[in-house]
Amino acid sequence: MIKSTILKSLRHMGLALTTCTMLGIAMSQAAVALKYSVTDIGTLGGSSSRAYGINDSGQVVGVSSLRDTDPPKAFAWDSTNGIQALPSATPNFSTQAYGINNNGLVVGYEFSDAGDPQAILWNINNRKINGQLLGFLDDTESDLLKSVAYAINDNGLVVGASASLPDKKLHAVLWNTTNVSQKNAQAILNTDKFGSVAYGINNNGQVVVSSGGGFQALILDTRTGVSQSLLSLRGNCEPYGINNKAQVAGFCRTGDTTFVGAQWNSPKDVQSLGGNLSIAYGINDNGQVVGSINNGQRAFLWENGVASDLNNNIDTNSGWILKEARAINNRGQIAGTGQINGQTHAFLLTPQPARSKN
Protein backbone atom coordinates (compact mmCIF):
# COMPACT_ATOMS: atom_id res chain seq x y z
CA MET A 1 0.00 0.00 0.00
CA ILE A 2 2.71 2.46 1.00
CA LYS A 3 4.82 1.64 -2.03
CA SER A 4 1.89 2.26 -4.37
CA THR A 5 1.29 5.62 -2.66
CA ILE A 6 4.92 6.63 -3.15
CA LEU A 7 4.94 5.50 -6.75
CA LYS A 8 1.78 7.55 -7.33
CA SER A 9 3.63 10.59 -5.96
CA LEU A 10 6.62 9.93 -8.21
CA ARG A 11 4.34 9.50 -11.21
CA HIS A 12 2.72 12.84 -10.42
CA MET A 13 6.08 14.54 -10.69
CA GLY A 14 7.08 12.54 -13.77
CA LEU A 15 3.49 12.47 -15.07
CA ALA A 16 3.81 9.31 -17.12
CA LEU A 17 0.68 9.99 -19.16
CA THR A 18 0.24 8.18 -22.44
CA THR A 19 -2.89 9.48 -24.12
CA CYS A 20 -2.10 12.12 -26.75
CA THR A 21 -4.95 14.50 -27.48
CA MET A 22 -4.59 17.87 -29.17
CA LEU A 23 -5.17 20.81 -26.86
CA GLY A 24 -7.94 23.28 -27.39
CA ILE A 25 -5.56 26.13 -26.56
CA ALA A 26 -4.74 29.22 -28.58
CA MET A 27 -0.96 29.27 -28.86
CA SER A 28 0.65 32.49 -30.00
CA GLN A 29 3.94 32.52 -31.87
CA ALA A 30 4.29 36.20 -31.10
CA ALA A 31 3.30 35.92 -27.44
CA VAL A 32 6.91 35.82 -26.26
CA ALA A 33 9.19 38.33 -27.91
CA LEU A 34 12.32 36.67 -26.56
CA LYS A 35 14.17 34.07 -28.57
CA TYR A 36 16.13 31.36 -26.80
CA SER A 37 19.36 29.53 -27.40
CA VAL A 38 19.21 25.81 -26.68
CA THR A 39 21.94 23.98 -24.79
CA ASP A 40 21.99 20.18 -24.92
CA ILE A 41 22.72 19.01 -21.37
CA GLY A 42 23.80 15.64 -22.75
CA THR A 43 23.87 12.38 -20.81
CA LEU A 44 26.11 10.44 -18.46
CA GLY A 45 26.86 7.92 -21.21
CA GLY A 46 23.42 6.52 -21.93
CA SER A 47 20.80 7.57 -24.43
CA SER A 48 18.53 9.76 -22.31
CA SER A 49 18.39 12.46 -19.66
CA ARG A 50 15.68 14.60 -18.07
CA ALA A 51 15.98 17.96 -16.26
CA TYR A 52 13.86 18.87 -13.23
CA GLY A 53 15.47 21.84 -11.50
CA ILE A 54 17.50 25.01 -12.09
CA ASN A 55 18.90 27.77 -9.88
CA ASP A 56 19.66 31.42 -10.64
CA SER A 57 23.25 30.55 -11.64
CA GLY A 58 21.95 28.32 -14.42
CA GLN A 59 22.98 25.07 -12.72
CA VAL A 60 20.64 22.28 -13.82
CA VAL A 61 19.80 18.99 -12.08
CA GLY A 62 17.93 15.88 -13.14
CA VAL A 63 18.48 12.23 -14.02
CA SER A 64 20.38 10.48 -16.80
CA SER A 65 20.89 6.97 -18.05
CA LEU A 66 24.38 5.51 -18.05
CA ARG A 67 25.12 2.29 -19.90
CA ASP A 68 22.19 -0.03 -20.49
CA THR A 69 23.17 -2.26 -17.56
CA ASP A 70 23.67 0.54 -15.03
CA PRO A 71 20.93 2.16 -12.92
CA PRO A 72 20.05 5.79 -13.78
CA LYS A 73 21.92 8.47 -11.86
CA ALA A 74 21.18 11.98 -10.69
CA PHE A 75 23.22 14.66 -12.42
CA ALA A 76 24.23 18.26 -11.99
CA TRP A 77 25.22 20.42 -14.94
CA ASP A 78 26.84 23.83 -15.29
CA SER A 79 28.42 25.67 -18.18
CA THR A 80 31.94 25.16 -16.81
CA ASN A 81 31.97 21.50 -15.77
CA GLY A 82 29.26 20.10 -18.02
CA ILE A 83 27.19 17.15 -16.84
CA GLN A 84 28.45 15.23 -13.81
CA ALA A 85 26.99 12.31 -11.88
CA LEU A 86 25.91 12.86 -8.28
CA PRO A 87 27.03 9.95 -6.09
CA SER A 88 24.51 7.88 -4.19
CA ALA A 89 24.80 7.56 -0.43
CA THR A 90 24.87 3.80 -0.97
CA PRO A 91 27.17 2.61 -3.81
CA ASN A 92 25.50 1.59 -7.08
CA PHE A 93 22.00 2.71 -6.08
CA SER A 94 19.84 4.53 -8.61
CA THR A 95 19.37 8.25 -7.87
CA GLN A 96 17.29 11.17 -9.12
CA ALA A 97 17.67 14.92 -8.46
CA TYR A 98 14.67 17.26 -8.39
CA GLY A 99 15.57 20.57 -6.75
CA ILE A 100 18.58 22.88 -6.40
CA ASN A 101 18.95 26.13 -4.46
CA ASN A 102 21.20 29.12 -5.09
CA ASN A 103 23.85 27.72 -2.73
CA GLY A 104 24.37 24.58 -4.78
CA LEU A 105 22.46 22.24 -2.45
CA VAL A 106 20.55 19.57 -4.37
CA VAL A 107 17.77 17.24 -3.21
CA GLY A 108 16.17 14.14 -4.63
CA TYR A 109 16.11 10.48 -3.71
CA GLU A 110 17.87 7.18 -4.19
CA PHE A 111 16.30 3.75 -4.43
CA SER A 112 17.20 1.13 -1.82
CA ASP A 113 17.77 -2.58 -2.47
CA ALA A 114 14.07 -3.08 -1.80
CA GLY A 115 13.20 -0.53 -4.48
CA ASP A 116 12.01 2.08 -1.99
CA PRO A 117 12.93 5.78 -2.40
CA GLN A 118 14.93 7.53 0.31
CA ALA A 119 15.40 11.31 0.34
CA ILE A 120 18.95 12.49 -0.27
CA LEU A 121 20.98 15.73 -0.18
CA TRP A 122 24.05 16.73 -2.21
CA ASN A 123 26.33 19.76 -2.12
CA ILE A 124 27.58 20.23 -5.69
CA ASN A 125 29.89 23.06 -4.66
CA ASN A 126 31.80 20.53 -2.57
CA ARG A 127 31.94 17.42 -4.74
CA LYS A 128 34.04 15.52 -2.20
CA ILE A 129 30.88 15.11 -0.12
CA ASN A 130 28.84 12.07 -1.14
CA GLY A 131 25.08 12.10 -1.11
CA GLN A 132 23.68 12.22 2.42
CA LEU A 133 20.40 10.55 3.28
CA LEU A 134 17.84 12.73 5.00
CA GLY A 135 15.89 11.46 7.98
CA PHE A 136 12.49 9.82 8.24
CA LEU A 137 9.34 10.61 10.18
CA ASP A 138 9.48 7.15 11.73
CA ASP A 139 12.32 4.62 11.58
CA THR A 140 10.86 2.05 13.97
CA GLU A 141 10.02 -0.40 11.19
CA SER A 142 11.96 -1.24 8.06
CA ASP A 143 8.99 -0.65 5.77
CA LEU A 144 8.75 2.94 7.05
CA LEU A 145 12.19 3.86 5.67
CA LYS A 146 10.70 5.55 2.63
CA SER A 147 10.92 9.24 1.75
CA VAL A 148 11.18 11.65 -1.18
CA ALA A 149 12.59 15.19 -1.39
CA TYR A 150 11.38 17.54 -4.11
CA ALA A 151 12.51 21.10 -3.33
CA ILE A 152 14.97 23.12 -1.24
CA ASN A 153 14.98 26.86 -0.55
CA ASP A 154 17.97 29.16 -0.09
CA ASN A 155 17.76 28.76 3.70
CA GLY A 156 18.38 25.01 3.39
CA LEU A 157 14.82 23.93 4.18
CA VAL A 158 13.75 20.85 2.22
CA VAL A 159 10.24 19.56 1.56
CA GLY A 160 8.89 16.25 0.37
CA ALA A 161 7.21 13.30 2.06
CA SER A 162 7.99 10.44 4.42
CA ALA A 163 6.10 7.39 5.65
CA SER A 164 4.92 7.02 9.25
CA LEU A 165 2.71 5.07 11.61
CA PRO A 166 -0.08 4.31 12.21
CA ASP A 167 -1.29 4.35 8.59
CA LYS A 168 2.13 3.92 6.89
CA LYS A 169 1.10 6.50 4.30
CA LEU A 170 3.28 9.26 2.91
CA HIS A 171 2.99 12.52 4.83
CA ALA A 172 4.31 15.95 3.85
CA VAL A 173 7.52 16.77 5.72
CA LEU A 174 10.14 19.45 6.22
CA TRP A 175 13.86 18.85 6.74
CA ASN A 176 16.34 21.41 8.04
CA THR A 177 19.67 20.66 6.36
CA THR A 178 21.62 22.45 9.09
CA ASN A 179 20.72 19.53 11.36
CA VAL A 180 20.40 16.41 9.24
CA SER A 181 19.78 13.29 11.31
CA GLN A 182 17.89 10.04 11.06
CA LYS A 183 14.83 11.53 12.74
CA ASN A 184 14.83 15.19 11.77
CA ALA A 185 11.92 14.98 9.30
CA GLN A 186 9.06 17.08 10.66
CA ALA A 187 5.42 16.61 9.71
CA ILE A 188 4.00 19.92 8.52
CA LEU A 189 0.26 19.20 8.66
CA ASN A 190 -1.64 18.81 11.93
CA THR A 191 -4.37 16.70 10.33
CA ASP A 192 -3.43 14.47 7.44
CA LYS A 193 -5.84 11.53 7.36
CA PHE A 194 -5.28 10.38 3.79
CA GLY A 195 -1.63 11.23 3.23
CA SER A 196 0.11 14.22 1.62
CA VAL A 197 3.17 15.36 -0.33
CA ALA A 198 4.95 18.75 -0.28
CA TYR A 199 6.24 19.69 -3.73
CA GLY A 200 7.63 23.22 -3.40
CA ILE A 201 8.94 25.78 -0.90
CA ASN A 202 9.93 29.44 -1.25
CA ASN A 203 12.48 31.47 0.69
CA ASN A 204 9.78 32.66 3.10
CA GLY A 205 9.07 29.09 4.20
CA GLN A 206 5.73 28.87 2.38
CA VAL A 207 5.06 25.36 1.10
CA VAL A 208 2.66 23.92 -1.47
CA VAL A 209 1.11 20.61 -0.49
CA SER A 210 -1.08 18.00 -2.14
CA SER A 211 -3.19 16.66 0.72
CA GLY A 212 -6.08 14.29 1.25
CA GLY A 213 -4.60 11.68 -1.06
CA GLY A 214 -4.46 14.24 -3.90
CA PHE A 215 -7.92 15.68 -3.29
CA GLN A 216 -6.88 19.00 -1.72
CA ALA A 217 -4.27 21.59 -2.69
CA LEU A 218 -2.83 23.70 0.13
CA ILE A 219 -0.37 26.51 0.78
CA LEU A 220 1.16 26.28 4.24
CA ASP A 221 3.33 28.78 6.13
CA THR A 222 5.93 26.84 8.12
CA ARG A 223 6.59 29.89 10.30
CA THR A 224 3.04 29.93 11.69
CA GLY A 225 1.74 26.47 10.87
CA VAL A 226 -1.28 28.04 9.17
CA SER A 227 -2.51 26.40 5.96
CA GLN A 228 -5.01 27.63 3.37
CA SER A 229 -6.85 25.67 0.70
CA LEU A 230 -6.16 26.67 -2.89
CA LEU A 231 -9.33 27.40 -4.83
CA SER A 232 -10.06 24.82 -7.52
CA LEU A 233 -10.98 25.55 -11.11
CA ARG A 234 -13.25 22.53 -11.12
CA GLY A 235 -11.84 19.20 -9.91
CA ASN A 236 -8.96 18.21 -7.66
CA CYS A 237 -5.76 20.23 -8.02
CA GLU A 238 -2.04 19.55 -7.60
CA PRO A 239 0.32 22.46 -6.74
CA TYR A 240 3.93 22.00 -7.87
CA GLY A 241 5.83 25.29 -7.77
CA ILE A 242 5.77 28.42 -5.61
CA ASN A 243 7.73 31.66 -5.98
CA ASN A 244 8.80 34.21 -3.37
CA LYS A 245 5.60 36.20 -3.93
CA ALA A 246 3.56 33.12 -2.94
CA GLN A 247 2.26 32.67 -6.49
CA VAL A 248 1.67 28.99 -7.22
CA ALA A 249 1.79 26.87 -10.38
CA GLY A 250 0.15 23.48 -10.87
CA PHE A 251 -2.87 21.92 -12.51
CA CYS A 252 -6.50 21.02 -11.87
CA ARG A 253 -8.40 18.01 -13.13
CA THR A 254 -11.38 18.86 -15.28
CA GLY A 255 -12.58 15.29 -15.82
CA ASP A 256 -11.55 11.67 -15.39
CA THR A 257 -8.76 11.97 -17.98
CA THR A 258 -8.52 15.72 -18.56
CA PHE A 259 -6.59 18.44 -16.76
CA VAL A 260 -5.57 22.05 -17.19
CA GLY A 261 -2.60 24.12 -16.00
CA ALA A 262 -3.37 26.62 -13.27
CA GLN A 263 -1.78 29.63 -11.59
CA TRP A 264 -2.78 30.93 -8.16
CA ASN A 265 -1.97 34.57 -7.40
CA SER A 266 -3.47 34.04 -3.94
CA PRO A 267 -5.31 31.07 -2.39
CA LYS A 268 -8.66 32.37 -3.66
CA ASP A 269 -7.43 33.78 -6.99
CA VAL A 270 -6.89 31.00 -9.53
CA GLN A 271 -6.73 31.26 -13.29
CA SER A 272 -6.65 28.64 -15.99
CA LEU A 273 -3.67 28.50 -18.31
CA GLY A 274 -5.94 27.23 -21.07
CA GLY A 275 -6.54 23.92 -22.77
CA ASN A 276 -7.50 20.62 -21.20
CA LEU A 277 -4.19 18.77 -21.23
CA SER A 278 -1.75 21.33 -19.84
CA ILE A 279 0.36 21.22 -16.67
CA ALA A 280 2.36 23.99 -14.99
CA TYR A 281 5.45 22.92 -13.09
CA GLY A 282 7.48 26.00 -12.24
CA ILE A 283 7.07 29.73 -11.63
CA ASN A 284 9.73 32.41 -11.08
CA ASP A 285 9.54 35.68 -9.16
CA ASN A 286 8.54 37.51 -12.34
CA GLY A 287 5.40 35.42 -12.57
CA GLN A 288 6.57 33.48 -15.64
CA VAL A 289 5.17 29.95 -15.61
CA VAL A 290 6.55 26.91 -17.45
CA GLY A 291 5.11 23.49 -18.13
CA SER A 292 3.79 21.30 -20.91
CA ILE A 293 0.80 21.06 -23.23
CA ASN A 294 -0.73 18.28 -25.30
CA ASN A 295 -0.07 15.65 -22.66
CA GLY A 296 3.60 16.45 -22.30
CA GLN A 297 4.28 16.76 -26.02
CA ARG A 298 5.08 20.50 -26.19
CA ALA A 299 6.93 22.77 -23.73
CA PHE A 300 5.28 26.09 -22.96
CA LEU A 301 5.84 29.43 -21.30
CA TRP A 302 2.83 31.29 -19.88
CA GLU A 303 3.13 35.00 -19.28
CA ASN A 304 0.64 37.84 -18.91
CA GLY A 305 -2.29 35.65 -19.81
CA VAL A 306 -0.83 34.13 -22.96
CA ALA A 307 0.62 30.64 -23.46
CA SER A 308 3.45 30.35 -25.98
CA ASP A 309 4.85 27.16 -27.47
CA LEU A 310 8.57 27.39 -26.74
CA ASN A 311 9.31 25.49 -29.95
CA ASN A 312 8.32 28.66 -31.79
CA ASN A 313 10.98 30.65 -29.95
CA ILE A 314 14.09 28.67 -30.85
CA ASP A 315 16.04 28.29 -34.08
CA THR A 316 13.86 26.32 -36.49
CA ASN A 317 16.98 24.47 -37.67
CA SER A 318 18.04 23.40 -34.17
CA GLY A 319 16.68 19.87 -34.55
CA TRP A 320 15.00 20.09 -31.15
CA ILE A 321 11.43 19.24 -30.18
CA LEU A 322 10.94 20.80 -26.73
CA LYS A 323 8.43 18.64 -24.89
CA GLU A 324 8.43 19.61 -21.23
CA ALA A 325 9.61 22.73 -19.39
CA ARG A 326 10.08 21.89 -15.71
CA ALA A 327 11.71 24.91 -14.06
CA ILE A 328 12.48 28.58 -14.72
CA ASN A 329 14.92 30.78 -12.80
CA ASN A 330 14.73 34.52 -12.17
CA ARG A 331 16.95 35.20 -15.19
CA GLY A 332 14.35 33.55 -17.39
CA GLN A 333 16.45 30.44 -18.11
CA ILE A 334 14.37 27.30 -18.52
CA ALA A 335 15.29 23.68 -17.81
CA GLY A 336 13.35 20.83 -19.34
CA THR A 337 13.31 17.80 -21.58
CA GLY A 338 12.97 17.35 -25.33
CA GLN A 339 14.05 15.26 -28.27
CA ILE A 340 17.16 15.74 -30.37
CA ASN A 341 18.37 13.30 -33.03
CA GLY A 342 15.76 10.79 -31.92
CA GLN A 343 16.91 10.75 -28.28
CA THR A 344 15.39 12.22 -25.11
CA HIS A 345 17.75 14.83 -23.64
CA ALA A 346 17.63 17.49 -20.97
CA PHE A 347 17.92 21.05 -22.26
CA LEU A 348 18.64 24.57 -21.02
CA LEU A 349 17.00 27.54 -22.73
CA THR A 350 18.69 30.92 -22.32
CA PRO A 351 16.97 34.16 -23.39
CA GLN A 352 18.79 36.02 -26.14
CA PRO A 353 19.06 39.81 -26.38
CA ALA A 354 16.62 41.42 -28.81
CA ARG A 355 18.18 42.13 -32.18
CA SER A 356 18.37 45.66 -33.44
CA LYS A 357 16.00 46.49 -36.30
CA ASN A 358 18.71 48.55 -38.00
**pLDDT tens-digit readout, 277-334:** 999 999 999 999 999 998 889 999 999 878 899 999 999 999 999 999 999 999 999 9
Checking if the pLDDT of 131 tops 60, the result is yes
Q: At 82, is the pLDDT very low, low, confident or very high (cuts 50, 70, 90)?
A: very high
pLDDT at residue 17, rounded to an integer:
31
- Report domain extents, the chain: 2-21+34-352
Q: Percentage of the chain with pLDDT > 70?
A: 85
Neighbour order of strands in the sheet with 289-293: 279-283, 289-293, 298-303, 306-309
Residues 6+ apart with CB under 8 A from 317: none
Checking if the pLDDT of 142 tops 60, the result is yes
Q: Could you give the count of Cα atoms lying within 13 Å of 7 in the half-sphere of its Cβ?
A: 7
Backbone angles phi, psi at 197, to 5 degrees: -140, 135
- Write out the CATH class of domain 2-21+34-352: mainly beta
Span 28-33, average pLDDT: 44
pLDDT at residue 15, rounded to an integer:
38
pLDDT at residue 248, rounded to an integer:
98
pLDDT at residue 141, rounded to an integer:
81
Checking if the pLDDT of 24 tops 50, the result is no
Q: Return the SS3 of 236.
A: coil
pLDDT at residue 80, rounded to an integer:
95
Q: At 350, is the pLDDT very low, low, confident or very high (cuts 50, 70, 90)?
A: very high
pLDDT at residue 2, rounded to an integer:
46
Span 137-143, average pLDDT: 81
